[in-house]
C-alpha cells in the first residue's frame, strides 16, 4: 500500500531531469523513452508540503505541486509489483520509489526494473494518473523492455500485477514522444480525474555530448473492465 503519511501533495515543480539514467547508450541510441520526475520527501505530516528538489539534467516533466492533506484514514490500495505488455514482450518488476538526491525520480539502474512513483496514485486506485518509469537502456544491462513501448499500437493490453496477485488491465490509448522540456507534468502526475496508467521512458535522439536522450516516450493507458 502507498505510504499513508507520505506527502501526497508533494507533486511540485519536479525535475527537468528525471530520467538522467537513460544516459549511457547501449551500443547505439535507441528511440525509446524517459522516466518521470517526482518530488518525494522524507515522511512529514500529511499537511506538510514537499520540498522542491533541485533540477537535474533534462529528463522528465515537472510534477505540479498540489495541496495534499491525507484523510485521517486512507483506504488500502495494492502497490504494483510487475508490469507486462504481452504483445511487445515487456515484462518488468516494479518497485516503489520517491526522488533521489539529485531531485529526480529514483530509478533502478537495471532497465528490467521499473519505478512506480509511490506518492502518486496506484494503478489499482479509482482516480488519477499512476506513473511507472524505467530506463530505456544501460551499458551494463543492455536494452530494456520499455524500449518497445514507443511502438505500442492503440488498444495494446497492459497488465499490472500486485504482490498479492491482483491484476489490473489497461489498454493503450496514446503513445507520445515529447521533448523533455515539453512534457505536460500537470497531466502526467495528475491525482484526479479518470484512472489511467502512465508509462514513461527515454526516447528520441541520444545526445552524446550531454549523455542523455533528448525526448521522453509517454504511454497513456486506460483501465479495461
The CATH number of residue 97's host domain is 2.40.260.10
Domain that holds residue 13: 1-69+78-225
pLDDT digits (tens, 9 = 90+) for 65-81: 555 555 555 567 899 99
pLDDT digits (tens, 9 = 90+) for 139-194: 899 999 999 999 999 999 999 999 999 999 999 999 999 988 778 888 898 999 99
Number of structural domains (the chain) is 1
pLDDT top residue among 4 and 92: 92
How confident is the model over 117-122, as a mean pLDDT?
94
Are 176 and 218 spatial neighbours (Cβ–Cβ below 8 Å)? yes
How confident is the model over 110-130, as a mean pLDDT?
96
pTM beyond cutoff 0.75: no
Amino acid at each position: 500500500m502507498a505510504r499513508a503519511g507520505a506527502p501526497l501533495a508533494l507533486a511540485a515543480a519536479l525535475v527537468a531531469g528525471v530520467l538522467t539514467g537513460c544516459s549511457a547508450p547501449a551500443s547505439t541510441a535507441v528511440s525509446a523513452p524517459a522516466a518521470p520526475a517526482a518530488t518525494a520527501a522524507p515522511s512529514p505530516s500529511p499537511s506538510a508540503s514537499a520540498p522542491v528538489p533541485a533540477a537535474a539534467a533534462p529528463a522528465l516533466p515537472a510534477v505540479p505541486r498540489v495541496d495534499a492533506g491525507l484523510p485521517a484514514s486512507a483506504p488500502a490500495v495494492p502497490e504494483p509489483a510487475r508490469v507486462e505488455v504481452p504483445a511487445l514482450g515487456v515484462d518488468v518488476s516494479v518497485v516503489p520509489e520517491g526522488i533521489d538526491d539529485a531531485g529526480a525520480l529514483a530509478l533502478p539502474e537495471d532497465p528490467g526494473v521499473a519505478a512506480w512513483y509511490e506518492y502518486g496514485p496506484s494503478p489499482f486506485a479509482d482516480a488519477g494518473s499512476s506513473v511507472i518509469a524505467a530506463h530505456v537502456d544501460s551499458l551494463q544491462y543492455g536494452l530494456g523492455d520499455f524500449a518497445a513501448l514507443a511502438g505500442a499500437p492503440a488498444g495494446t493490453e497492459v497488465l499490472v500485477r500486485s504482490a498479492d496477485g491482483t491484476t489490473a488491465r489497461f489498454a493503450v490509448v496514446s503513445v507520445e514522444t515529447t521533448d523533455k522540456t515539453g512534457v505536460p507534468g500537470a497531466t502526467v502526475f495528475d491525482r484526479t480525474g479518470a484512472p489511467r496508467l502512465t508509462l514513461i521512458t527515454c526516447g528520441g535522439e541520444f545526445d552524446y555530448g550531454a549523455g542523455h536522450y533528448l525526448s521522453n516516450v509517454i504511454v497513456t493507458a486506460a483501465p479495461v473492465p
